[in-house]
Amino acid sequence: MRPTVFLDRDGTLNREVGFVRSPHMLEVLPFARPSLQRLHDAGYRLVVVTNQSGIARGLYSENDLAAVHARLHHELGELPDAYLHCPHHPDGAHGYGGACACRKPGPGLLHQARTLLGVDFVGGALVGDSARDLLMARGLPLRTVLVRSGKPVAAERAALQAAAMTADHEADDLVGAVDWLLRTH
């Protein structure tokens, strides 16, 4: 089975600008598409996993998110195999409140990928710009890469340290993450 690279969205594939409420707010990072192409050519499946609590907060709808992901998919050369998101927030309303199993740092979206897409974790990896991205992979056979292209990295490193976890690798951005993944797989 082809291994899978799980990718955070905001700060990893597109610029971290807070909530992306509509396609015109989406700014795909220039290296994202060629980086995904390299992973694709190396045989990896690509799955985007993203917290989208803006839905629970009433900032945008599932339809708005679908429009954002349609744009993202186009700009990424239609390379990702799937986009999985958590629309919830503990304080949310609109039917999306309360605890859920899929909000990162929980592993729920990864388990959704296994159930819905039949992906295997073995030989795979996870790339993200925040501690909660990497924490979702804790205990799973995924290599983890923290990228410095999104949230201020010092706080993310500290959050990882507080949770007694360290990234397997740290890179400036997805380019460096892919360099490392392809060099070490």
Active site residues: 8, 10
Residue 11 interacts with Mg ion (CB under 5 A): yes or no: yes
Closest CA to 140 of 40, 3, 1, 34: 3
Complex with Zn ion: residue 85 or 151, whichever CB lies closer:
85
Is the omega angle on the peptide bond into residue 87 within 30 degrees of 0, that is, cis? no
Size of the site for Zn ion (CB under 5 A): 5
Is the torsion defined by CA of 157, 130, 47, 107 positive or negative? positive
Using the rule CB under 5 A, is 173 a contact of Mg ion? no
Q: Give the chain's radius of gyration (CA, Å).
A: 15
Which residues, 96 to 115, sit near Mg ion by CB under 5 A? none
CB of 108 to Zn ion, least distance (A): 6
Kindly write out the interface string for residues 114-143 of this chain, putting x where it contacts Mg ion by CB under 5 A and - elsewhere.
Answer: ---------------xx-------------
Contact (Cβ atoms closer than 8 angstroms) between residue 3 and residue 122: yes
Q: Is 54 in the site for Mg ion (CB under 5 A)?
A: no
CA distances from 164 to 6, 124, 159, 160, 167 (A): 22, 22, 9, 6, 10
In the region spanning residues 83 to 122, those forming contacts with Zn ion, defined by CB under 5 A, are 86, 88, 100, 102-103
Residues that bind Zn ion (CB under 5 A): 86, 88, 100, 102-103
